[in-house]
Amino acid sequence: MSKNTLEISQSKSHMRRDIRSRRRATPVTFRTERDKRIQKNLMDHLSSLSAGRVAAYVPMQHEPGGRNLPGLLKASGLQVYLPRIVSIPDAHARGLSGTLAETLEWVRYEGETAVNARGIEEPVGNAEPGVLPEVDVFLVPALAIDQHGYRLGQGGGFYDRALAQPGSYREICAIVDHEEFVSAVPTDEWDLAVNSVVTDRGLNRFDAGNHRKP
C-alpha cells in the first residue's frame, strides 16, 4: 500500500468513525422527523423520474431514510428490489476472503425480511439474477456524499462493486442527512460517483454519475 493510499484509507476510517458516532447520538424523535422529510423528498424525486423499478435497501438503525423505506416505496406502486449478502461460490479458489468473498444478490421485495448475521435486514425470496442493471433508479446508502457526487460507504465494498457493473439506470441516488453532504470525501481511484443525493433538506443533482475519479 502506497503512502497516499494509506493516508486516504486512514482519512476514510476517521470520517466513518465521526459520522457513525454522530448518527448514534441523534435522538430517536429527531431521527424520525428527519426520515419523514427524507422520504418526502425522495418520493418527489422518484415521481419526477417516472420510475417503475427501484433497487433500494433497508436502512439500518441510526441510518437516514427510515427502516420503513422499502414498504413506503412498494406502497407507492414501485417494484422494489433489495440486496442480500451471499458468498461467491469460487471465492476460495480465486484467493478471495472477507467481504471480497461475498457479493450482493437482488430479490424483489414483497413485504417480508429477515435479519442476517450482521444484523442487517434482508429480503426473503428468490434472487433475480441480472435484474440490477435493468432498474430505473439505484438507491444506495452512504455515510457522506461530496459536492462532486463521490460517496463514502461503510467500507465493505459491496456497493462499490455493484456500482461498477454496467447498468441502464436513469439515476443513482444516495441518501444522507444534510450535514453529511460535504465539500469533499477522501476518494480512491476506483471510487464512483452518484447522480444525486437526497437529504432532509432536499435534492442535489450532479453532472454525471457512475464515473471514476479523474
Question: From the annotation, which residues make up the binding site for substrate?
Answer: 58, 63
Specify binding-site residues.
Answer: 12-16, 58, 63, 151-159
Task: Measure the CA angle with vertex 177, ends 71 and 144; round to 5°.
Answer: 105
Span between the terminal Cα atoms of the chain, in Å: 20
From the list 118, 143, 162, 146, the residue with the least C-alpha distance to 213 is 146
Instruction: For CA atoms 102, 79, 175, 190, give the dihedral sign.
Output: positive
Specify binding-site residues for ATP.
Answer: 12-16, 151-159
Residue 152 and residue 175 in contact, taking contact as beta carbons nearer than 8 Å: no
Q: How far apart (Å, rounded) are the C-alpha atoms in residues 71 and 181?
A: 25
Chain centroid to CA 30: 22
